[in-house]
A = this chain, B = another copy of it.
Amino acid sequence: MNRQELVAHIKAKKSFLCVGLDTDIEKIPNHLKETEDPIYEFNKAIIDATKDYCVAYKPNIAFYESLGSKGWSSLEKTLNYIPKDIFTIADAKRGDIGNTSKLYARAFFEQMDFDSITVAPYMGSDSVLPFLSYENKFVILLALTSNEGALDFQFMTSNSTGLKLYEKVIEKASTWGNPENLMFVVGATRPEMLKNIRKLAPDNFLLVPGVGAQGGSLEGVAMNGMNKDCGLLVNSSRGVIYADQSESFATVAGEKAKELQQEMEGYLKKFGVI
């Protein structure tokens, strides 16, 4: 999917919601645990219930990888089940030397057909470039993350440029890619910094985790981060998919997604995107 199509879907659905498919075998309802592939059955039900309210799905790969080859099979089936007009994000945070990053790109863009992958910036240009060479695919580079450990290194300030590490990541990566193939991860727990990030990356989409369970506010994110094309994908995982753990889990997940979509519709109107 390209940027223009993503923007069109956001406008049509009046939503910039990304649903995080962080499906934990220990948290899914008991009645699904007797099926042959509980993870896939859970995801299928969540997708059916939420697909009208969201524009992206983001499976965090750790949840599948922790189940071994069986988990990878559940991931592949889930990806195939997601409607083609919904943007897909492999939340994998990969990154290795050039010839190895090529293989990760092959894994997520060819072996599987994700629209995008999250990538960790520590190893620099050749670890990121192989992912950028695919047409209509996106790198979503970690810039400012939503967790406590973000404070350890991401705010380190350069003695030569005065830029913080996360700013340098955005500045440098913007010379490798462009808004057609590069997005950034910016945690919702730091919405006040979105204004600053918009100066460095006015047109790139930002993937914003941390709304809900991690404590970020949707309003703060929209106010500080929205651009004329929306430019935001706000992720909710636990707040949607585990809103209810009974047999009605999917219905409740659909309701939660709809609530978020309606709040988002308000911001899209308020800031003139629709």
Chain A positions near chain B (C-beta within 8 angstroms): 22, 24, 60, 62-63, 65-70, 72-73, 76, 91, 93-98, 100-101, 103-104, 106-107, 111-112, 120-128, 142, 145-154, 156-160, 162, 165, 168-169, 172, 214
Q: What residues of B have a CB within 8 angstroms of the CB of A158 in the complex?
A: 156-159
Q: What residues of B have a CB within 8 angstroms of the CB of A73 in the complex?
A: 69
Given contacts A93-B120, A122-B154, A159-B157, contact A112 B149 (CB under 8 A): no
Interface pairs A-B: 10 shortest CB-CB? A124-B149, A124-B152, A69-B72, A62-B103, A159-B159, A97-B147, A125-B149, A66-B107, A66-B103, A126-B149
Given contacts A69-B69, A156-B158, A157-B159, contact A63 B103 (CB under 8 A): yes
Q: What residues of B have a CB within 8 angstroms of the CB of A160 in the complex?
A: 157
How many angstroms between the C-alpha atoms of A121 and B63 in the bound complex? 20
Whether the Cβ atoms of A153 and B111 lie closer than 8 Å is no
Whether the Cβ atoms of A107 and B148 lie closer than 8 Å is no
How many angstroms between the C-alpha atoms of A97 and B216 in the bound complex? 15
Q: What residues of B have a CB within 8 angstroms of the CB of A70 in the complex?
A: 69
From B62, B97, B111, B165, A107 is in contact (CB under 8 Å) with B62
Whether the Cβ atoms of A149 and B168 lie closer than 8 Å is no
Q: What residues of B have a CB within 8 angstroms of the CB of A156 in the complex?
A: 156, 158, 165, 168
Nearest-Cβ distance from residue A55 to partner chain B, whole angstroms: 23
Q: What residues of B have a CB within 8 angstroms of the CB of A157 in the complex?
A: 158-160
A118 closest partner in B (C-beta) = B96
Given contacts A73-B69, A96-B60, contact A153 B103 (CB under 8 A): no
Whether the Cβ atoms of A153 and B122 lie closer than 8 Å is yes
Q: What residues of B have a CB within 8 angstroms of the CB of A120 in the complex?
A: 93, 95, 120, 122-123
From B66, B69, B95, B111, A93 is in contact (CB under 8 Å) with B95
